[in-house]
């Protein structure tokens, strides 16, 4: 199955009460597939075809506020268009689950993979789970529902996977049985429903200087509970099907001197490179971030503690900031830990620029030099860029 098919399959098995739908490349096939399931009567989901992504998220918010299990999916400019309501979904504490098929934001217009869309959303209050492959996109979608609906969390979850690289390439999927998924997700009882006239509540009222701040602090608390919940659900999922999940994956990292930090499909390629380098006697390792929000900084700092040089791969740019968003988090995580580690930021793969094994080898070669000589002045590098400054 492709990543889109795998995620649509997870959605078929979840059979949400309401799915709101607007097409955008490379997510279109996902909803196309799910809409087929609705048309064929495989699910009794109310499929709401809307006129824009702003409406897609708005309708999902309305459905969730009524107590429904609500989902939608999008990518890139679609996510940008729904931005306003993305924040609102989180602040109303509505456990909406949304697969986002990572694609570069315009402009210039581009339909291929990078992480500028979801990285731009990192402060919206959504939990973000990044997927390495279609299997993880499927597994993350099934877990996302439980995480979002957990009473200690009650936050929406984005499940991301790389556009085209994962959304449109086929791999073998180990799916759960329909009955297993039904058991796994259980039933959802929302605490509030705007349609419950016996117990009427107001959702989304004006919230000014007197209480807005307090509600933001509550969101922080939901996010603080999320790491334990993500781990607990990741373990339970492992007991169900043998594939357990954590906040991040440490791949041959324990004794690694040269560590690469990445997320998304590049992690798969990096693992192959790490294996090759290990055969050559290079102590290489990978830290794959699954949960970027919440960002488990203490655990990540500990996992990277033995490295002599760290290369952080960013598939997006934070213009005017010192490096990409992942790079900044890693640097912040290591601040105050006492480890003097050379860190280099590799910005790569923008607009779908291919990230080959050779590119990753170039990054590791750069790290070797950093391990010997310390943090260089040119610590933000553009991997795969042509022209001056490219490596």
Partner 1 sequence: MKERGWTEIPIGGVIEEAGNAAAYETGSWRTYRPVWNSETCIHCLRCWVACPDSSIEIADGKVTGIDYEHCKGCGICSFECPVDPKAIEMKLETDFAKE
Q: According to the binding rule CB under 8 A, does residue 335 interact with partner 1?
A: no
Q: According to the binding rule CB under 8 A, does residue 93 interact with partner 1?
A: yes
Q: According to the binding rule CB under 8 A, does residue 218 interact with partner 1?
A: yes
Shortest spacing between CB 228 and partner 1, in angstroms:
18
The single residue among 210, 239, 279, 340 that binds partner 1, judged by CB under 8 A, is 210
Q: According to the binding rule CB under 8 A, does residue 163 interact with partner 1?
A: no
User: Are 188 and 182 spatial neighbours (Cβ–Cβ below 8 Å)?
Assistant: no
The single residue among 19, 60, 81, 154 that binds partner 1, judged by CB under 8 A, is 154
The single residue among 201, 272, 321, 365 that binds partner 1, judged by CB under 8 A, is 201
User: Are 316 and 351 spatial neighbours (Cβ–Cβ below 8 Å)?
Assistant: no
User: Are 167 and 27 spatial neighbours (Cβ–Cβ below 8 Å)?
Assistant: yes
Nearer to partner 1, 217 or 386 (CB): 217
The single residue among 71, 94, 101, 121 that binds partner 1, judged by CB under 8 A, is 94
| Angle formed by the axes of helices 3-14 and 28-39, nearest 10° | 40
Cα-based distances in Å from 225 to 15, 231, 345: 27, 11, 30
Nearer to partner 1, 200 or 374 (CB): 200
The single residue among 186, 204, 322, 390 that binds partner 1, judged by CB under 8 A, is 204
Q: Is 44 exposed, middle or buried (0-12, 13-18, 19+ CB in 10 A)?
A: exposed
Shortest spacing between CB 202 and partner 1, in angstroms:
4
Shortest spacing between CB 91 and partner 1, in angstroms:
7
Q: According to the binding rule CB under 8 A, does residue 211 interact with partner 1?
A: yes
Residue 158 has φ and ψ, to the nearest 5°, of -95, 125
d(CA 358, CA 270) in angstroms, rounded, equals: 10
d(CA 310, CA 290) in angstroms, rounded, equals: 18
Q: According to the binding rule CB under 8 A, does residue 51 interact with partner 1?
A: no
Cβ neighbour number for residue 196 with a 10 Å cutoff: 12
Nearer to partner 1, 42 or 192 (CB): 192
Tell me if residue 252 falls in helix, strand or coil.
Answer: coil
Q: Where are the alpha helices (DSSP H) in 17-96?
A: 28-39, 53-65, 76-81, 83-91
Q: According to the binding rule CB under 8 A, does residue 346 interact with partner 1?
A: no
Shortest spacing between CB 221 and partner 1, in angstroms:
8
Q: According to the binding rule CB under 8 A, does residue 192 interact with partner 1?
A: yes
The encoded tokens of residue 353 equal: 């620029």
Adjacency order of strands within the sheet including 97-102: 46-49, 18-21, 70-71, 97-102, 157-162, 127-130, 291-293
Nearer to partner 1, 188 or 249 (CB): 188
Shortest spacing between CB 334 and partner 1, in angstroms:
31
Contacts (Cβ under 8 Å, ≥6 apart) of 210 = none
| Angle formed by the axes of helices 212-241 and 83-91, nearest 10° | 90
**Among 54-62, 72-80, 180-188, 194-202, the segment contacting partner 1 (CB under 8 A):** 194-202
Q: According to the binding rule CB under 8 A, does residue 215 interact with partner 1?
A: yes
First vs last C-alpha separation in the chain: 35
Shortest spacing between CB 215 and partner 1, in angstroms:
5
Shortest spacing between CB 193 and partner 1, in angstroms:
11
Q: According to the binding rule CB under 8 A, does residue 202 interact with partner 1?
A: yes
Number of residues that bind partner 1 (CB under 8 A): 22
Contacts (Cβ under 8 Å, ≥6 apart) of 118 = 79, 100, 102, 128, 130, 158, 160
Q: According to the binding rule CB under 8 A, does residue 222 interact with partner 1?
A: yes
Q: According to the binding rule CB under 8 A, does residue 251 interact with partner 1?
A: no
**Among 50-58, 160-168, 198-206, 363-371, the segment contacting partner 1 (CB under 8 A):** 198-206
Residues at the site binding partner 1, with contacts judged by CB under 8 A: 91-94, 154, 192, 200-205, 207, 210-211, 213-215, 217-218, 221-222
């Amino acid at each position: 199955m492709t990543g889109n098919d795998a995620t649509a399959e997870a959605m078929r098995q979840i059979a949400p009460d309401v799915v709101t739908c607007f097409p955008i490349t490379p997510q279109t096939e996902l909803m196309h597939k799910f809409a087929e399931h609705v048309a064929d009567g495989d699910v009794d989901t109310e499929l709401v075809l809307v006129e824009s992504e702003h409406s897609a998220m708005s309708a999902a918010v309305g459905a969730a506020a009524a107590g429904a299990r609500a989902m939608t999916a999008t990518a890139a400019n679609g996510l940008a268009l729904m931005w306003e309501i993305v924040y609102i979904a989180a602040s109303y504490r509505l456990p909406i689950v949304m697969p986002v098929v990572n694609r570069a934001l315009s402009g210039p217009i581009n339909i291929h993979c990078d992480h500028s869309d979801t990285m731009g959303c990192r402060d919206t209050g959504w939990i973000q789970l990044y997927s390495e492959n279609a299997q993880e996109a499927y597994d993350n979608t099934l877990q996302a529902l439980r995480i979002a609906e957990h009473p200690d969390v009650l936050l929406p979850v984005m499940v991301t996977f790389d556009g085209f690289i994962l959304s449109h390439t086929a791999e073998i999927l180990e799916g759960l049985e329909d009955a297993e998924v039904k058991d796994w997700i259980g039933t959802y009882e929302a605490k509030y429903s705007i349609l419950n006239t016996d117990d009427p509540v107001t959702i989304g009222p004006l919230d000014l200087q007197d209480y807005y701040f307090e509600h933001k602090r509550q969101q922080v608390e939901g996010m603080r509970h999320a790491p334990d919940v993500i781990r607990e659900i990741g373990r339970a999922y492992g007991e169900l099907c043998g594939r357990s999940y954590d906040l991040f994956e440490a791949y041959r990292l324990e004794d690694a001197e040269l560590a690469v930090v990445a997320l998304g499909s590049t992690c798969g390629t990096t693992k192959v490179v790490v294996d090759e380098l290990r055969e050559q006697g290079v102590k290489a390792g990978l830290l794959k971030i699954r949960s970027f929000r919440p960002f488990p900084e203490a655990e990540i700092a500990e996992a990277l503690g033995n490295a002599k040089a760290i290369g952080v791969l960013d598939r997006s740019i934070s213009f005017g900031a010192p490096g990409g968003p992942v790079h900044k988090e890693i640097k912040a995580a290591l601040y105050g830990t006492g480890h003097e580690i050379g860190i280099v930021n590799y910005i790569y793969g923008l607009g779908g620029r291919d990230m080959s094994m050779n590119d990753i080898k170039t990054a590791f070669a750069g790290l070797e030099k950093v391990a010997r000589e310390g943090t260089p002045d040119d610590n933000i590098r553009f991997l795969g860029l042509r022209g001056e400054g490219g490596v």
